[in-house]
Amino acid sequence: MDSQGVNMSPDGYLSNNSSQPEWRSNYRGDYKDYNLKPICTQDLLSWAFQVARGMEYLSQRKVLHGDLAARNILLAEDNVVKICDFGLARTMYKDNNYKKKSDGLLPIKWMAIESIRDRIFSTQSDIWSFGVVLWEFFTLAETPYPGMEADKQYQKLIEGYRMEKPEY
C-alpha cells in the first residue's frame, strides 16, 4: 500500500486486487456469504480519508479521474479502500483542465456544474465528485439527487439546489 492511499503493484501500476466488490453492493447485502461487520462512523471516516488521500495522490501526479463515484471505489481486506475505473481519466500535463469533445455518456449525477455546462473537467470537478461520494458514504449508499432526472439536475443546481445533509 502506497503511503498516499493508492495501492500500487510491484511494477508501479494501480492494483485492483479487491477481496470485496463495490461497497454499495456489499452494504446492500448482495454478498451475504461474506462475514461482514456492520458499517460504523469510523469506517465511513476512514474510507473518506483514504479516498481523499488517493485523489490527492492523483492530483499531485496531474491525473484527472473524471468518474469518481462510490461505484468506482472498492473495499478490500482490512477496510482498505481502492479507487478504480480510470476509463475517463486524463493526464493534465499540458493544461489544468480537459474539455471533452466527444458525445459519450457521462456520469451527470457526480459532475460539477461547469462539467455539465461546458464539458470541462479539472481537479476542481474531481473535488465536486468527491463531495458526492461523501454524500453516498454518509447516506449509506443512496443514489445522488434521489428522484431527480439527470436532465433536470443542471437547472436545479444553477438555481442553487443542493442535496440534503445526510442523517448519518
Q: Which residues are catalytic?
A: 67
> For residue 123, how many C-alpha atoms fall within 13 Å in the half-sphere facing its CB?
16
130 — phi, psi (to 5°)? Answer: -60, -40
- DSSP character at residue 72: G
For residue 77, the SS3 value is helix
Q: Where are the alpha helices (DSSP H) in the chain?
A: 23-27, 41-60, 113-118, 123-138, 150-158
Strand 81-83 with 120-122, pairing: unpaired
The SS3 of residue 120 is: strand
Residues 6+ positions from 34 with CB-CB distance below 8 Å? 20, 26
C-alpha cell of residue 143: 443514489
